[in-house]
Amino acid sequence: MTADSAPNPRAPSESNDDVRKVLELGRQASNAYGREDLAERLDRLLVQVGKPDVQVVVVGEFKQGKSSLINALVNAKVCPVDDDIATAVPTVIRHGEDKGAVAMTVPTDNQDVEATSHVIPFEEVPAYATEIGAGDPDITVKGVEISLPRKLLANGLVLVDTPGVGGLGSAHATAALGALSVADAALFVSDASQEFTRAEIDFLKQASDLCPQVLCLMTKTDFYPAWRRVLEINQGHLRNEGFEVPIIPVSSLLRSEAVKRNDRELNAESGFAELVGQLTTSVVGGAAMALRRRAHQDMIGVCDQLAGQFEAEKAALNDPENAAALVSKLEQTKARSEELRGNLATWSTTLTDGIGDLNSDIDFDFRQRMRTITQEADLAIANSDPLDTWAEFEPWLVNRVSYEVVSNYRFLTERAGSLSMEVATHFEAAGEGLLEDLDIHNPTAVLGRVGMDVSDIDLTEMTAGKAGLSMVRGGYTGVIMFTMLGGMVAAAAPLVPFAPVVGLLMGRKNLKDEKERQLGQRRLQAKNTVRRYCDEVSFQVSKDSRDTLRRIQRQLRDHYSTRADELNKSTAEALRAAGEAAKRGSTEVVARLKDVEAELGRIRGLRTEVDKLVAL
């Protein structure tokens, strides 16, 4: 049933064997020319291409049909579906040759440790994934991972079922947003019983800011005859909000029936044909395409660098008179490439300064946000009696704080994204010229670099920036979102909150004074609770932001230092080859020229294969 995706010339099912083959050729060539550094880069890419991982997180309010949707998609009862028992932990479903399941658990009395995984019987997955848990009060389940032999998952699609967010404004929703910030796509599930609520629309807005791709699914169309009307209204809502997110109406019930009967028409009617089509072409296909483009760009870089040394040698062999001048020119080029490696290179100082600025700006942003919250909270407390309002006040506080945590995190990713672009631009400006210098004496460069059109250059820049951006996304730990916000007010709140003490034996005036005094105390206590909570959140958030920025800085530095080292090695090789060429006798020159031409021909051949990767 999974083969019914819409036909597409670059559907991922059409395998990435060609990408792998070209990368493999590039790796062999790099090794043959003594460039293990380049081979290593391609090795890492080969691992990614061989085992792609495209995370799709299914989110939505309580009981909207998230788990049923996943079960219907993979045609297996893997996620727990129940009217009363809710999904309690994330369940991750990925491809595996054999059916299997593991649970990630921690000891109940010490939940801060890293979760350990152990194999569980497949039939027990629903119990582990719900509030029923592991059946042992000493063990707390943090997540379940399932592997299933399914064609739909074979190209790297990973589905993640999440607990219903029980009021999308809640701290739980923040956890879901945290999951989205590291996912490739989100499926937002809302059933056909009613139109989107305000909370759902707000959640969608945040989700589409955090996640590169969002699809809306309207579930249970078999059960709600008026679903078309609701669909129209919802489409209107999205239009009003300026969203370009499609809504696919689906019925998990019809899909399961269709699979059972092997009924194509019913499958189309269930909406799953379209959903599967979108997942395979747009989501998985999009990720595969991005990887293909990266492979293309990296291979162009590798070919350029391999060719560089032979170009320089060829120039020196062809024109022995000017060989000395060429060598001294190459020495300058090498000196410049040394600079690119140093701490004083513009890209490097841009990165260091940029991260410094980001640290203080993000901290400042969060402080401002928290200050506004405490002011609002103080005002609310001053105008009410916490005894009456606390039950309502506490969730308000958690929601408000969660919202600001997410907004602050979005600010961080945006700013880190622009910084990464800036670093990429500086690096490319300094690095690009270097390679060109290697064959400066050969304006009709064999590899057609001169003939490269503008769109190619745009692509190079974009890809470099994107590589940085994906690091930014991957850099976030999301710890805050998952673990913290919920239980914390409870921890900060007094155990017996604001119990009234009525002094029966007091006189009327005294009683009034006493009541005033107690009200004052309750307000003070409430304000202190808010302060303690906000302080604790601020502490955690600023620690998490600093860690995230440190990780982003390290990743970007590693990325560009490695690139700089490669360029340095290329210029050193070119210099060595040109120097040797200058020393050769005339008979030797002819023979060597032939060899060099042959090597360049080989690299040109490889480059032709590389270009086929993106030629449609």
Ligand X SMILES: Nc1nc2c(ncn2[C@@H]2O[C@H](COP(=O)(O)OP(=O)(O)OP(=O)(O)O)[C@@H](O)[C@H]2O)c(=O)[nH]1
What is the binding site for ligand X (CB under 6 A)? Answer: 62-68, 81-83, 86-87, 163-164, 219-220, 222-223, 251-253
Q: Closest separation between CB of residue 163 and ligand X, Å?
A: 6
Q: How many residues does the chain have?
A: 616
Show Cβ contacts of residue 219 under 8 Å, excluding neighbours closer than 6 positions.
Answer: 64, 65, 68, 69, 189, 190, 191, 192, 250, 251, 252
Show Cβ contacts of residue 295 under 8 Å, excluding neighbours closer than 6 positions.
Answer: 19, 22, 23, 45, 49, 613
Asked if 67 interacts with Mg ion (CB under 5 A), we say yes
Q: Closest separation between CB of residue 416 and ligand X, Å?
A: 33
Q: Closest separation between CB of residue 226 and ligand X, Å?
A: 14
- Of 42 and 168, CB closest to ligand X: 168
How far is it, in rounded angstroms, from Cα 366 to Cα 360? 10
Sign of the Cα pseudo-torsion (407, 413, 419, 421, in order): negative
Q: Closest separation between CB of residue 60 and Mg ion, Å?
A: 9
Touching Mg ion, residues 403-442 (CB under 5 A): none
Nearest Cα neighbor of 305 from 447, 453, 461, 463 is 447
Asked if 71 interacts with Mg ion (CB under 5 A), we say no
Strand (E) positions, 212-278? Answer: 214-219, 247-249
By CB atoms closer than 10 A (0-12, 13-18, 19+), residue 342 is exposed
Long-range Cβ contact pairs of 332-338 (< 8 A, separation 24 or more): 333/434, 333/437, 333/438, 333/571, 333/574, 333/575, 334/568, 334/571, 334/572, 334/575, 336/430, 336/433, 336/434, 336/437, 337/434, 337/564, 337/567, 337/568, 337/570, 337/571, 338/568
Asked if 190 interacts with Mg ion (CB under 5 A), we say no
Q: Closest separation between CB of residue 87 and Mg ion, Å?
A: 3
| Residues forming a β-bridge with 218 | 190, 249
> Which of the choices ligand X, Mg ion, none does residue 109 contact, using the CB cut-off of 5 to 8 A by kind?
none
Q: Point out the residue whose Cβ comes nearest to ligand X.
A: 164
> Which of the choices ligand X, Mg ion, none does residue 63 contact, using the CB cut-off of 5 to 8 A by kind?
ligand X
> Which of the choices ligand X, Mg ion, none does residue 251 contact, using the CB cut-off of 5 to 8 A by kind?
ligand X
- Of 223 and 364, CB closest to ligand X: 223
Binding characters for Mg ion, 78-97, by CB under 5 A (x = yes): ---------x----------
- Of 62 and 122, CB closest to ligand X: 62
User: Rounded to 5, what percent of the chain is helix, strand, coil?
Assistant: 65, 10, 25
- Of 252 and 278, CB closest to ligand X: 252
- Of 59 and 406, CB closest to Mg ion: 59
Q: Closest separation between CB of residue 217 and ligand X, Å?
A: 10
Q: Closest separation between CB of residue 82 and ligand X, Å?
A: 6
Q: Closest separation between CB of residue 279 and ligand X, Å?
A: 17
> Which of the choices Mg ion, ligand X, none does residue 220 contact, using the CB cut-off of 5 to 8 A by kind?
ligand X
Cβ atoms 438, 327 nearer than 8 A: no
- Of 209 and 222, CB closest to ligand X: 222
- Of 220 and 292, CB closest to ligand X: 220
- Of 73 and 307, CB closest to Mg ion: 73
Residue with structure tokens 């640290």?
A: 359
DSSP states along 564-588: HHHHHHHHHHHHHHHHHHHH--HHH
- Of 187 and 340, CB closest to ligand X: 187
Q: Closest separation between CB of residue 223 and ligand X, Å?
A: 4
Q: Closest separation between CB of residue 144 and ligand X, Å?
A: 13
- Of 154 and 253, CB closest to ligand X: 253
Between strands 100-107 and 91-95, the pairing is: unpaired
> Which of the choices ligand X, Mg ion, none does residue 83 contact, using the CB cut-off of 5 to 8 A by kind?
ligand X
Binding site for Mg ion (CB under 5 A): 66-67, 87
